Amino acid sequence: MKPTVVIPTLNEEKYIEKTLKSIRAQTIKSEIIVVDSGSCDKTLEIAEKYADKILIGKKGIAYNRQIGAEEASGEIIATTDSDCIHPRNWLSNLLKYFDDENVVCASGQTLPIKEEGNFLDFLCYFTSNVMLKLANDLFGKALFRGSNVAYRKETFLKVGGYNTKLLAREDSELARRLSKYGKTIFDMNIKVYTSMRRRQNLGWFKTMRYYLDTPIYMLTGKTYYEKVGESKE
């Protein structure tokens, strides 16, 4: 079962090589699709060394994840971000759950890159990971992050893929719809490590607003980021 990994990019020359190297170093091989939304640095030049396909998307992370998934040749699609580092067993740990044909989606923790995060960063991410675990296991609300998730392409197509109108939370919104068609797994032992530059650029106020959107969405099914012009790209 060869998976496809979809990675949206925009001006990621500082991080993209480490991300792609960590995926190429996985214990199982995968197809890598990079979807770029107009980088003007060396992102594409670097990506060409590692990616199987490079697609040109547009501004909007949901749209770029969507066209990458549609082009995927794998039965299982994993998504991540272009500033993440992945342990060598990341893909194999995600894929093992799909031996159960009732599983449609699997995810795990996203944590700060050790060299970049401070105590508050680690606390914030760990707390949000616990919330996602509890939401999935106790309340049946799959609200997974696109930085660390895999799903069946067949089910993805059945639900219509990503809501490309969303500027963020496209990952949680998709996982919630996928959960209606089978089991969803959140495994705290499956980890990826992400850069803290976005959190540092946003500041704590906007960061906390972003994470508070998760419980609101869990309760109401509505996300703040469908209404305002803010995107993670």
Q: Distances from the Cα of 136 to the Cαs of 118, 185, 186, in angstroms?
A: 27, 7, 7
Answer for the pair 38, 58: CB distance below 8 angstroms, yes or no.
yes
User: Per-residue b/e over 160-169, b at no fewer than 16 CB within 10 Å?
Assistant: ebbbbebbbb
| Tokens standing for residue 96 | 């093992």
Does the domain at 4-225 match CATH 3.40.50.1110? Answer given as no
Answer for the pair 97, 1: CB distance below 8 angstroms, yes or no.
no
State yes or no: pLDDT of 204 exceeds 80.
Answer: no
pLDDT interval class at 45 (50, 70, 90):
very high
Which residues, 6 or more positions from 182, have their beta carbon under 8 angstroms from its beta carbon?
102, 103, 104, 105, 152, 155
- For residue 216, what pLDDT is reported? 55
Average pLDDT over residues 173-191: 97
| Mean per-residue pLDDT over the chain, rounded | 89
Spatial strand order in the sheet of 53-56? 53-56, 31-36, 4-9, 76-79, 149-152, 103-112, 183-194, 84-85
Q: Residue 36 phi/psi, 5° resolution?
A: -105, 140
CA dihedral 12, 49, 51, 57 (to 10 degrees): 50
Average pLDDT over residues 94-109: 98
Give the separation between CA 144 and CA 147, rounded to whole angstroms.
9
pTM of full prediction above 0.95: no
- For residue 231, what pLDDT is reported? 39
Residue with tokens 């159960």: 100
State yes or no: pLDDT of 138 exceeds 70.
Answer: yes
| Tokens standing for residue 67 | 């066209």
Residue ranges of domains in the chain: 4-225
